[in-house]
Amino acid sequence: MNPADRARKLLAEALEVDPAQLPADASVTTMQEWDSLAHLRLIEAMERELSGELPPEMVVSIGSLDDVVRVISERALA
């Protein structure tokens, strides 16, 4: 699965929505479902998926679907 698909799957699970319903511009500002608890679920799921705690700079950078894709891509290269 490529980073974009992995990101979409992880975010959809955290927000408890259908992946197909996730808009391309999904963000903490635009989605009602993206609340503080969903955010916590997302970070925990990403760390499970990526096998380890994310660096602090990455943790504080995540606020949109694009950010999730970027972090997954960067971790895959690391």
Partner 1 sequence: MNEPKPPAPGAANRPHRDRPDPNRPTPNDPARPAGAGGPLRNQAGVGQLRQRQSAQPGGRPQGQGQGMRPQGQRAGGQGQGAGGQRAQGGGQPRKQPARRPPGPPIRLETANYVVRSIEHGDVNEDYRDWTHDQEIMAGVNSAPTQMTIEDMHKYVDRFDNRNSFHFGIFDKNAGNRMIGFYVIYRDRRHNLAQTNVVIGDKNYWGKAVVLETRSAVLDFLFDVVKVGKIWGNPMVRNIRSVFNYKAQGFVAEGVLRRHRVDPDGKRVDQVMFGLLPEDWERQRKILAETGKLPQEPKK
- List residues binding partner 1 (CB under 8 A): 28-32, 34-37, 39-40, 43, 56-57, 59-63
Residue 1 or 56: the one with the smaller Cβ distance to partner 1 is 56
Tell me how far, at minimum, the Cβ of 74 lies from partner 1, in Å. 16
Among residues 37, 39, 35, 32, the alpha carbon closest in space to that of 10 is found at 39
Tell me how far, at minimum, the Cβ of 60 lies from partner 1, in Å. 4
Residue 19 or 63: the one with the smaller Cβ distance to partner 1 is 63
Q: What is the DSSP string of 19-70?
A: GGG--TT-BTTT-TT--HHHHHHHHHHHHHHTTSPPPHHHHTT--BHHHHHH
